């Protein structure tokens, strides 16, 4: 809750659009407490019905979520599942943020025309070196591939993004935004870290 409120306050002050993707049990609580978009970390590609243990797009919408991540490296799903999940989210007015680890997977998921594709090489997630520094060709290649296939899809860059320079490089390479977790959640001063990242825009 503190992170969500800080992100909302600092995003508004900087003029940078922000969103937060909390753990599933926190989605409804945060969505009712902050005005920034709250997105889930995953959604399952099912219609409402007998799916114990799974999360439907309708349940996310009812909880106040504005979208969901899909295919994160810690929760990969198949191409048909991604397609159906994007379709289900879109049908209830929610945004899909589809993760891809490299250029070709990013191009493939862009064929679904999701609102967002997040490029995150798994080996760099949670690390000390950003993808925009270690593998700039992935960011530039993915941004070009996604924009060629689906011009309306926005590209986010993730994996090892820690400071304003990482953000600036990601934007220069063709990204429209960044996807960040550990830099903030592991920070001794999350407010300062959020301010630093926002300054990169």
8 Å CB contact between 73 and 122:
yes
Token digits of residue 125: 């997630």
Contacts of 52 (CB under 8 A, 6+ apart): none
Q: Is 162 a catalytic residue?
A: no
From 42, 47, 58, 120, active-site residue: 120
Phi, psi of 38 (to 5 degrees): -110, 125
Q: How far is Cα 100 from Cα 117, in angstroms, rounded to an integer?
A: 7
From 8, 42, 72, 162, active-site residue: 72
Q: Is 72 a catalytic residue?
A: yes
Q: How far is Cα 8 from Cα 42, in angstroms, rounded to an integer?
A: 22
Active site residues per annotation: 72, 120
């Amino acid at each position: 809750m503190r992170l969500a409120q800080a992100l909302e306050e600092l995003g508004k002050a900087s003029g940078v659009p922000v969103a937060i993707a909390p753990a599933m049990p926190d989605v409804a609580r945060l969505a009712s407490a902050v005005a920034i978009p709250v997105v889930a970390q995953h959604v399952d590609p099912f219609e409402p019905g007998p799916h114990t243990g799974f999360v439907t797009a309708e349940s996310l919408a009812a909880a106040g979520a504005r979208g969901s991540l899909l295919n994160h490296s810690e929760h990969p799903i198949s191409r048909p599942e991604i397609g159906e999940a994007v379709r289900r989210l879109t049908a209830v007015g929610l945004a899909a943020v589809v993760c891809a680890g490299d250029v070709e997977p990013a191009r493939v998921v862009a064929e679904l025309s999701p609102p967002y594709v997040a490029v995150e090489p798994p080996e760099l997630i949670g690390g000390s070196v950003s993808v925009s520094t270690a593998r700039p060709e992935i960011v530039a290649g993915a941004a070009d591939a996604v924009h060629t296939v689906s011009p309306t899809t926005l590209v986010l860059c993730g994996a090892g993004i820690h400071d304003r320079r990482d953000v600036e490089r990601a934007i220069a390479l063709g990204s429209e935004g960044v996807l960040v977790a550990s830099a903030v959640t592991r920070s001794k001063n999350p407010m300062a870290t959020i301010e630093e990242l926002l300054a990169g825009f």
